[in-house]
Amino acid sequence: MRKVNDIGTYGEITLIEKLNMSNSLQSEKLHDIVDPDKTLNIGYVIGWAEMNCTGNDTDTKEEINYNNYVLKAVDKDTGKIKFYTTLSQTFMNAFTTIWDMLDESPEYSHDNIQIVVAKTKSDNGQYFLTCSAQEA
Model pLDDT for residues 6-40, shown as the tens digit of each residue: 787 788 888 777 766 656 667 888 888 877 777 77
For 95, other C-beta atoms within 10 Å of its C-beta total 22
CA distances from 86 to 39, 56, 105, 106, 115 (A): 16, 20, 26, 28, 11
pTM: 0.79
Residue 8 · residue 96 · CB < 8 Å: no
Per-residue pLDDT, 24? 60
| Residues 132, 45, 26: CA angle, nearest 5 degrees | 115
User: pLDDT digits over 114-129, tens only?
Assistant: 887 777 777 677 778 8
The domain total for the chain is 1
- The parent domain of residue 108 ranges over 2-133
CA angle 75, 80, 85 (to 5 degrees): 60
